[in-house]
Structure 1
Amino acid sequence: MNKKKLGTSVVSGLVVMGLLAGCGAGAGTDQKKETEGAATGKTTELRFYTFGTEGNYNWQKTVAAYQEKNPNIKVNVIGLSEKGDTQEALKKLDLAAASGEAMDVLMFSDPAAYAQRVSLGMVAPIDEYIAKDGYKVSEDYKVDTMLNGKYYALPGKFNPWYVILNKTALDAAGLAVPKDWTWDEFMDYAKKLTKGEGNTKVYGTYFHGPQNGGWLDYAKLAMENQKENPEFIKADGTSNLDSPLFKKSLELRMKMEKEDKSATPYADMLSQKLNYRTQFFNQKAAMILTGSWMNTELGGTEQVPLNFNVAIAPYPKNNAADPSGYTQVTTDYMSVAANSKNKEESYKFIRWLTTEGALIQGKNVPSWNKVKAEDLSKITDAILSGTKNPEKVDKASLNTVLANSKASAIVPPVSYQAEVYKAVNEEFEKMILGKQDIDAAVKASQDRVKGIIDSNKK
């Protein structure tokens, strides 16, 4: 890989790895001390580094429950950002690792942060503990965290993408809340829900991207409901833009905006700096495709009140015969630090935290597959109770979608991901603004991404 192409975070991480390697010389002595301590019945302290705030994760209550069940364990929660800012937290985590601070449990917010720090040696594999417990991550959890054939994390919260619907508008149009649908059906709904003209027009849907190299989910809509390789780069590092689903994603966007006129124009999104929350809650769009981090806002907030009924539909499929539920998912990656002197205790804590502990925490929908329907209902009740009008939300449709959603396999992010996103974004923009057709956009994207991959090869 061309060194000039490495991101700042990866470079700093390489420094961290070197420092961690230097700190490992006394591991044998430390292990001996740990064994002696355990024999005398001393309390083991686990140092848990997290970006998660008390308000968002209920740490005090959760940790207290674990310590009551395990009186020989003391969990010291080390908050890395008072605002829950993941970038700030990562910088502090890297600095802590570089300075040789003792670490046991690490929490990452996205696959890029997780994969990079695994590759830099900051995270320990946990396969031996999983094997000892006798379960399969792919069966016990909705998110499979495997990287390069090994497990370095267990998944925490489960935030799949879904479609938020203006149920009042659906009822007026005589449309049922979809329980399983295709992109063709999504487009048909959008046409039927579009009404009015000019400033009073209500569009069937609004897509919040891509823009400025971000929100690229909206340039690969038909790719992200696949079990494997939902990204622009495949798991083997080659380009995925020759997939017919990439072209289908572009065709879908063009048809809805240019032909059906059922999607808010991309040019309006950019020029007016539109936001998906206000477009939906102000009833400028009847459906929005977004992530279930919106659970906490579904019933409306002080800033964006809710004046109609809301329902939830699953992420659309490409074909009716395709398996249901696959979608992009955000989660928390709960890991054991490579330099931890308490690896088994740390593993036991993250296993509890991502199973029974998640129910006690009660702040997020867990990735754990063994969550019972009544437990899920209690969690969503608690989440919706923090909104202004929870009674306007069709909770049954929300729970059904959350229970049946499944995560696509993780594609380890490449260090030049931002370059790929920028290239695809630029070619998409030329297409949607009428400067090139779909075939030209596909070809230009393929050529540019291949060039980026080639230039970054070792």
Structure 2
Amino acid sequence: MKRNFGKSMFATGLILSLLAGCSSGGGTTPAPETGGSSAPAGEQPAAEAPAAEPVTIKFHTHGTEAQYNWEATLVAFEEAYPNIKVELVTLSEKGDTNEATQKLDLAAASGEQLDVLMFSDPASYAQRVGLGMVAPINAFIEEEGFKVSEEYKVDTLMQGQYYALPGKFNPWYVMLNKDHLDAAGLAVPTDWTWDQFAEYAKTLTTGEGATKRYGTYFHGPQNGGWMEFLRLSLANKVEDTDFLKADGSSNLDDPMFKRTLELRLKMEREDGSSTPYADMLSQKLHYRTQFFNQSASMVLIGSWMNSELGGTEQNPLNFNVAIAPYPKNSDADAIGYTPVTTDFMAVAEKSQHKKEAYQFIRWYTTEGLAKYGRNIPSWSKVSDADLEKIVDSILSGTQKPENVDKASLINALANSKSGKIIPPVTYQAEVYKALNEQYELLILGSQDLDTTLANMKTAVQEIIDNNK
């Protein structure tokens, strides 16, 4: 489920020209006039409220039926809101987010009806907001009288406005081979630091040569992607969790960025507890096979793996699995801040039914996802009992759900939270590529840490300056 934050904008000029001419007004079509029999002389007919005319909204999504259970979800919504019909437009039969984004841009460029839009990552979301494709929903939120930051675990605020509500909640966590932990006499962590993570990895590492089992495996960075693995310590904060700050300036002076480099260097070079970066590249290793083949005892990854924890046909499970929360930077820090992926549920700017589109995304991101979806919701009001039911439902689709320590999984999910989203810049891919190149020189032994950090800062600042 690799996320590409450097997606190209397809048909941008055409989209902008279309958006410039479209109306921002919403609302339903007025109800038709109704007839009635004449009233007796001297009496006035009783006033009748006009029935709301049914409205059909179109919902464009990358999500497939298998991933999201749309059929049952939409039936439930239409029962709750009988005046609103939802027409599902699946943009990729494979659930491919790149394909879906391109097709959404084409739909916008060709003037198709757009009402509800679903984005899979902050870059797609931010770019379409910048294009004017997405309508602000502050007025609807204020009318309801709730705070997004309290109502949901992901705060989607962007430039002082809300343009989306968060759908699924996929925090990152650490998958653990519980059999390996038991053999080493290690408890399943419920609150731990990066230093303790490194100690666990060192203890769990055994063997030599081709049969060596590593304590952990890091799946990135690679080719300018999987950059979460270069901001391990940055991500365990409330603010300034990325390589750039919200104002577009460099965040590489943050000591937590250097700490991540130090941690990666120590674990691979000194402790020998993480799978060598060179092996990951040359052998084209993958986190699923490294974990399920028991080549690594701990793997840090996103909780989209919930549906695979009990094993699948492609990756059978032959051991017991537990989950630990994302490590924190120090004992004094709050546990739980972690990278989070979500679906950004938005209302199209050109929609003629903005209110109804908003009603759908509000219902879906709360009751709809909690009761009918196949993902953990970002909604903070999901009860412990409901969370357990959702987890049971997800694990039941795996081969050996009984081999998963459900309590540890629920603990990690329930206590995870996202820092503030930093809108990506248009040149994000350039930044990622520059950092990735310098990191490779460091981890492969071609330059030292101080030189690497200095070169990273220079390269990123040049990119920022060139794009002003």
Q: Could you say whether these structures have the same fold, taking a TM-score greater than 0.5 normalized by the shorter chain as the test?
A: yes
Following TM superposition, by how much is the alpha carbon of 1:8 offset from its aligned partner in structure 2, in angstroms?
7.5
Letter in 2 for 1:321: A
For the pair 1:321 / 2:328, whether they are aligned, the reply is no
Shift of 1:231: 0.7
Letter in 2 for 1:347: Y
Aligned residue among 7, 24, 29 for 1:34: 29
Say if 1:23 and 1:100, in contact at 8 Å, map to a contact too.
no
> Percent of counterpart pairs with the same letter?
64
- C-alpha change, 1:391 and 1:8, in structure 2 (3 Å) is closer
Which residue is 2:317 aligned to?
Answer: 306
Q: Deviations over 1:311-359 (max 9, x none)?
A: 0000001111011100000000000010111111111110000000012
Corresponding position of 1:240: 251
**Residue 362 of structure 1, CA deviation:** 3.1
> For residues 377 and 95 of structure 1, do their structure 2 counterparts lie closer, same or farther at Cα, with a shift above 3 Å needed?
same
Q: Does 1:274 find its partner at 2:285?
A: yes
Give runs of aligned pairs for residues 286-435 of structure 1, distance below 5 A: 286-435=297-446
More helix by share: 1
Find the counterpart in structure 2 of residue 135 from structure 1: 146
The yes-or-no answer on 1:438 pairing with 2:449 is yes
Q: CA deviation at 1:136?
A: 0.5
Structure 1: 5+ residue stretches without partners: 1-6
Distance in 2 (alpha carbons) for counterparts of 1:224 and 1:360: 30
Moved more, 38-47 or 77-86: 38-47
SS at match of 2:30: helix
TM-score (norm 1): 0.95
Deviations for 1:132-188, whole angstroms, at most 9, x for unmatched residues? 111100001000000001100000000000000011110111100000100000001
- Residues 107 and 334 of structure 1 are in contact (CA less than 8 Å); yes or no, is this contact kept in structure 2? yes
Does structure 2 conserve the Cα–Cα contact (< 8 Å) formed by 1:204 and 1:286?
yes
Q: Secondary structure at the match of 1:354?
A: helix
In the other structure, the counterpart of 1:50 is 61
Task: Using the TM superposition, give the Cα deviation of residue 36 of structure 1 relative to its aligned residue in structure 2, in angstroms.
Answer: 4.3
Larger Rg: 2
Does the 8 Å contact 1:362/1:382 carry over to 2? no
> Match for 2:97: what amino acid?
T
Q: Which runs of 5+ in 2 are unaligned?
A: 1-5, 33-48
2: distance between equivalents of 1:291 and 1:74?
Answer: 34
Partner Cα separation in structure 2 for residue 301 and residue 102 of structure 1: 39
SS of the residue aligned with 1:327? coil
Which one is further off, 237-246 or 9-18?
9-18
Pair 1:151 & 2:179 matched = no
CA distance in structure 2 between the partners assigned to 1:62 and 1:334 by the alignment: 15
Output the CA distance in 1 between the equivalents of 2:259 and 2:387.
35
CA deviations 1:387-444 (Å, max 9, x no partner) are 1111000000000110110011111001111110110000000000111011111000
Matched position secondary structure for 1:9: coil
How far apart, in 2, do the equivalents of 1:328 and 1:148 lie?
Answer: 20
**One of 260, 268, 272 as aligned partner of 1:249:** 260
Any conservation in 2 of the 1:20–1:100 contact (CA below 8 Å)?
Answer: no
Contact 1:211 1:425 in 2 (8 A): yes
Structure 1 residue 11: deviation in Å? Answer: 6.2
Whole-angstrom CA distance in 2 between matches of 1:315 and 1:275:
20
Partner SS state of residue 215, structure 2: strand
SS in 2 for 1:355: helix
1:13 Cα deviation from its structure 2 partner: 2.8
Query: Amino acid of the residue matched to residue 66 of structure 1?
Result: F
**Distance in 2 between the 1:108 and 1:70 partners?**
24
Which of the residues 182, 190, 193 maps onto 1:179? Answer: 190
The Cα shift of 1:35 comes to 3.3
Q: Report the equivalent of 2:45.
A: none
Deviation (angstroms), 1:17: 2.0
Match of 2:294, SS?
A: coil
The residue that corresponds to 2:39 in the other structure is none
2:30–2:53 Cα contact (<8 Å) kept: no
Q: CA deviation at 1:12?
A: 2.5
What is the Cα-based RMSD across aligned positions, in Å?
1.4
TM-score by length of 2: 0.93
Distance 1:82 1:11, change over 3 A: closer
- Give the match for residue 104 of structure 1: 115
The CA distance in 2 between the partners of 1:304 and 1:70, in whole Å, is: 41
Do the aligned partners of 2:7 and 2:124 also contact (CA within 8 Å) in 1? no
Per the TM alignment, residue 18 of structure 1 is displaced from its structure 2 partner at its CA by: 1.5
The number of residue pairs the alignment matches comes to 447
Query: Do residues 285 (structure 1) and 280 (structure 2) align?
Result: no
Give the Cα separation in 2 of the matches to 1:220 and 1:443: 17
Superposed structure 1 runs of 4+ greater than 4 Å apart: 36-40
One-letter amino acid of the structure 2 residue matched with residue 12 of structure 1: A
Amino acid at match of 2:380: N
The separation in 2 between residues aligned to 1:183 and 1:341, in whole angstroms, is 50
1:23 aligned partner: 22
2:74 pairs with 1:63:
yes
TM-fit CA distance, 1:23: 3.4
Provide the residue aligned with 1:200 in structure 2: 211
Determine if contact 2:10/2:105 at 8 Å carries over to the other structure: no
Structure 2: distance between partners of 1:405 and 1:342 = 35
AA matched with 2:188: V
